[in-house]
Structure 1
Amino acid sequence: MASSSSEIGVTLDELTCPVCFELYKEPTTLPCGHSFCHLCLETSWESTEEDTTCVCPSCLDVFPQKPNLKKNVIISNLVENIKLKKGKVGLGVKVRDADHGYMISWGTESYCELCNGEATKRCVPCDLLCCEKHLKPHQQQWHKLVSAGVKIEELRCIEHGKPIRLYCKDDGSLMCLMCTAGEHQYHKVVAVEIAHAELKDVLTAKYPHVSQSMESVASQLQQVQEEEEQAENSSRDAEDRLEEKRMLVCQLVNVSVDLMKSEIKKRKMEKLSLLGKQREKLEQQMENLRQGKSTMDRALQKLEAVSFLQGSKDLLKRLETMSHFKSVQRTPLPVLDFSKEEKKLDGLITFNKNYLLEIQKEPVEHPEEVELDQNNLRNLYGRTLSLDPNSAYRWIKISRGLTSATLTGTYKQYPEHPDRFDLYPQVVSFESFSSGRHYWEVDVSSSSSCGIGICLNSMGRKGRGCVLGGNPESWCLNKHYDKCSAYHNKQCTTLSVPREPKLFGFFLDCEAGELTCFIDSQVLHVFRGNFMDPVKPAIGVCVNSVRFVHLVK
């Protein structure tokens, strides 16, 4: 009988039921030699469809008749002895209460449950915390190990509460051993370690392509960033040059106006000076005439002849002097004329007005439009899309690489999700676009009837109104053998195709509001709408499968 902690650890591992991965409760041994909890064995057989056949859950031996199940007393005693020893040495132990569905714990989960040393890992099937020393037996048996702090409940089957040990390749779901007796009975099921290794191989094979794509995208991203920086610098330099020219033009206009104003002032002063001299001369003459007239008035007022004659000599002399003031026609000075200068400014103003009109009428140069050539679009804007399983109709199987959607006759146990289509066999992509240009291709060679297009991310997923093309929020190309049609908002347009389409190409220009559809390198149809709201590529498959094409730039 084991007495050391290490021996207890090994015994615990050997006395664990391979179905529930817990210490045996009423252990029962089958004729093939494998032992199980009595309840686990009965539950496993009850879940099988054939009532007369019993199968060993471990080696899958078939017993035509149900064996007589008896309690294995030796194993039962060993289990009780192990529990007793664990209690004496103060070690932690966990037992699941099958009636109430909770875990009863003793000891502390921060230490090894076999020696009270520091725990480094948790064994999932044994539900034990182990130190490095007691971890080796579990490693040798390839048990699932996780960090000590991981909650074991997170790694258990939701339906049965048992540890996850298997992976269903048909449904792409994790499961416990009890799940094999249900809907997964005829599915391809492998151990999680095998599925893990296979998936790692797939990812490893795709890793170089992803790396190359990342390098290509990084190179294009760098080019875009360089072009953005170049555009910023070019625009800033052009604006600076224009600002300098504006300052220069303003300076020249200011200098020209100042020179003209100076010339005007000079001419004004010259004319005012001449006019001032003429005015002074005329004012002097006017004063002399005023004085002569005053003398004549006084002489005429004298009535006495003697007095009149006494002053007549001086009066006649003054009159003689006044006789020299004759009315001479004065030649006026020329009027100041600044029409030439004004015409020069008018010419400058007219030139600028015409130049401004030319700038306003001249269209802004845009980058050259992308030629609608599929090879060009594939190289510039090619995208490899992936399907969103959370949106898939429950009868659609999504491939492991998330690129193919296949309509099957098997109902998939997909979890409930608000994005899932509940009435039509449809699925949308993970990717969502609301700006820029994007190109992708869809292989429809395996499906004689399908619908491919885009839909607003806000389009409903439940009920009859969510069929692709049957509402204002979706645009769809429908293929039925060798016939095609464009479908949007319940409006159908028949399209002419030379043969049954095998491949569709789609070019989405969000800013232009256009979805261009290609077939055989020719434009088949152009949808127009408001694609600045988030849209998602979408697939509707009525027969067989449809897949997104992997585009390698």
Structure 2
Amino acid sequence: MAEAILGDHDQYSCWICLDLLNDPVTIPCGHSYCTSCINECWNTKDKKGTYTCPQCRQAFNSKPQLNKNTILGEIMEKLRSTKLQVSDAAQSLAGPGEIACDFCAGEVFKAVKSCLECRASYCEMHVHPHYNVPALKKHKLVKATVMPICPKHDKLLEVYCRTDQNCVCMHCLMDDHKGRDTVPSTIERNDKQMKLTDTQTEVKQTIQAKEKELQKMKMDITSHSDSAKDAVKDSKRVFTDLVKLIEKRSNEVIEKIKAQEKADLDHGAKLQQNLEGEITELKKREGVLETLLQTYDNVHFLQNYESVSSSSGSNGFPSCSFKPSCSYTDVNKLVCELKDRLETVFNQEINETFKICLQRTIQFALRLETQSK
């Protein structure tokens, strides 16, 4: 029941304070108000001896009797007891740096809309008259923002002076900015927004190119690391075929390969880190551009345009690639050639050794044969 009432809670709000009715009373014309609100209204505003309904403007020659609306009072109590008021369910208190409602008393809620005609900001509850009151419906509501006011004329900044590159009010056009190149701020915003959108597109394209470059670099580094591992494996296989005499040299070669791999990978990691940093910076810049493009505040947009509109595409971030100091394929080839040379040398030495052994065997046999004769 309470939720159904809340769905149409405007009829249970006081026309004077715009809050839920507190101790509601009904006057002869049928409209209801908070007891304190209607008493204060009639005590402070009626100077001609007449009393007028703030809502329908019906006048009474004498102060009408205030009839307590018991049923409406009970409904208000149920709404408060179940904590279904709009102020609790749909609003939040204004925090530091947030736009506050100009009409809240006591607890000040965060504003959701600003009226360019009233030059005021409203929370969810206090903005309702701008949706319901015919005269207020014509006002222009925007997302809650700080009113851009001319410090000299106390008027809204609605015009952009291209000569001075700043925002001015309509009175400034007749004063300091008379005869200068001026346009409505919305037109200048659209022009600069198109340029800023092009800059954003360029940044996005640069990010995509850098991400592709990073992916290629990762593949090159992985391939290089795999090549180093293969070289180590092949070297181990080659040197394990050699005699223990060259095991020390085998370990030295392996350690050199690993050391060179580490140096190359450290260098590649540094390049990769730099490239990731560039991408991070570009994404930060894209976020700044996106935030500025989404702002409803023309003044804030125009004042920050120059600082973010300079191009920072690929020209600002030169391309780089991973180039190892050596190729492990060449290392593997040299190791295989060394193995072949060593095998040749070993074979020659073994053959020479067998030849000498054979000659000595023959000489020894001849000597024995001579001695036997």
TM range (shorter): 0.3 to 0.5
| Bigger-Rg structure (1/2) | 1
Normalised to the residue count of structure 1, the TM-score between the two structures is 0.24
Q: Larger RCO: Structure 1 or Structure 2 (Cα < 8 Å, ≥ 6 residues apart)?
A: 2
Which one has the bigger helix percentage?
2
